[in-house]
A = this chain, B = another copy of it.
């Protein structure tokens, strides 16, 4: 399992800048924790100080570094983080094998469609009537797959995921523990008796191929029709997706963000952490929304936004800078008023 630096060079497509090709490493670690048997990487300039002090056996570095630590082997690569992942995969390739089968404690309805020799159903999982589990999929312990729900091929549902009735997951979907897919949308109408009446939520959630969904994230089913998560989109933990939302392909939604009902988000959109997007809005392709923003208008694609209410990033940044100087501004205006009153005593 050990790798020579020559082998590391080959695996990562890099160039050995400093060090002997025959030296060996046996694992991976961070710059600050690595010993002489470990590879590490410099992926963010914030860690430059750790880099200069590292005792790693080799460091994967980007081109154009101004300074090196003394006596440390270095391999230059275009993208150190990506290259390092290849090493991680190498050292982790002895992980536990995937063995198909249905755990005796799982409860699988006789009408469920699955090939017991090609799927794994964990302990205590519940597969309800008419649900369909694609080959190669792994349903973790304690998951509940509702009636007539569909899980595609090669999906990985970690422990205690809930997919409610009729919802559909594509193939190669990964869901972290505790996520809920297909909860009822939040819709009520005030009745004449002063009580809210629930609006039936009879639609579904449809999730594309290669989507990832974070731990304890919630995605509501549509009122009717579909709540849609496009192919390749990645959703972090504790995110809330409202009913009838449509999210495009290859988007990123970071932790604790929320998207309210019926909003449409394009492709390649990035939504940073703790962002809120109001309902019935459109966000264009390749828009980026910075953390904690509050979006209450349509957003054109291809731009960066920030603030509450969200505006274009440079504008929001200027506003925040002005806010920092507000106490000074207030004092200036007070002085100007005093001076003006001195000049025009009759006006005051």
Write the residues of chain A forming the contact surface with B, with a CB cutoff of 8 angstroms. 28-30, 33, 44, 46-47, 79, 81-82, 85, 88-89, 92, 96, 103, 105, 107, 122-124, 126, 128, 140-142, 144, 146-147, 158-160, 162, 164, 174, 176-178, 180, 183-184, 186, 188-189, 194-196, 198-200, 202, 210, 212, 214-216, 218, 220, 223-225, 232, 234, 236-238, 240, 242, 244, 250, 252, 254-256, 258, 260, 273-274, 276, 278, 280, 291-292, 294, 296, 308-309, 311, 315, 318-320, 322-327, 329-330, 332-333, 336-337, 339-340, 343-344, 347
Contact = CB atoms under 8 A, between A and B. Distances in A.
Given A89-B200, A311-B324, A123 B126 contact: yes
Nearest to A159: B144
A124 B144 CA distance: 10
A28 B200 CA distance: 12
Given A215-B183, A276-B291, A107 B79 contact: no
Contacts of A210: 195
| Interface residues of A, dominant DSSP | loop
B92 A107 contact: no
B309 A320 contact: yes
B333 A236 contact: no
A44 B199 CA distance: 16
Nearest to A40: B224
B344 A339 contact: yes
Contacts of A319: 323-324, 326-327
Contact of A124 (B126, B225, B234): B126
A225 B30 contact: yes
Which of A33, A47, A202 lies at the interface centre, i.e. has the most chain B CB atoms within 10 A of its CB?
A202
* Copies of this chain: 3
A171 to B, nearest CB: 14
A57 to B, nearest CB: 15
25 contacts: A30-B224, A33-B225, A79-B189, A81-B189, A82-B189, A85-B199, A88-B202, A88-B223, A126-B142, A162-B177, A174-B184, A176-B180, A178-B180, A178-B218, A183-B214, A186-B254, A188-B212, A196-B234, A198-B234, A216-B218, A238-B240, A254-B260, A273-B276, A323-B323, A339-B340
Nearest to A195: B232
Contacts of A196: 232, 234, 250, 252
B332 A329 contact: no
A47 B250 CA distance: 26
Contacts of A315: 324, 327
A341 to B, nearest CB: 10
A215 B180 contact: yes
A96 to B, nearest CB: 7
Contacts of A220: 215, 237
Contacts of A347: 339
A158 B46 CA distance: 39
Contacts of A122: 126
A240 B212 contact: no
Given A158-B183, A177-B180, A322-B323, 19 more contacts: A79-B189, A85-B199, A92-B202, A105-B107, A124-B126, A124-B142, A142-B142, A164-B177, A176-B180, A178-B180, A238-B238, A255-B258, A292-B294, A308-B320, A319-B326, A322-B326, A322-B327, A332-B333, A336-B337
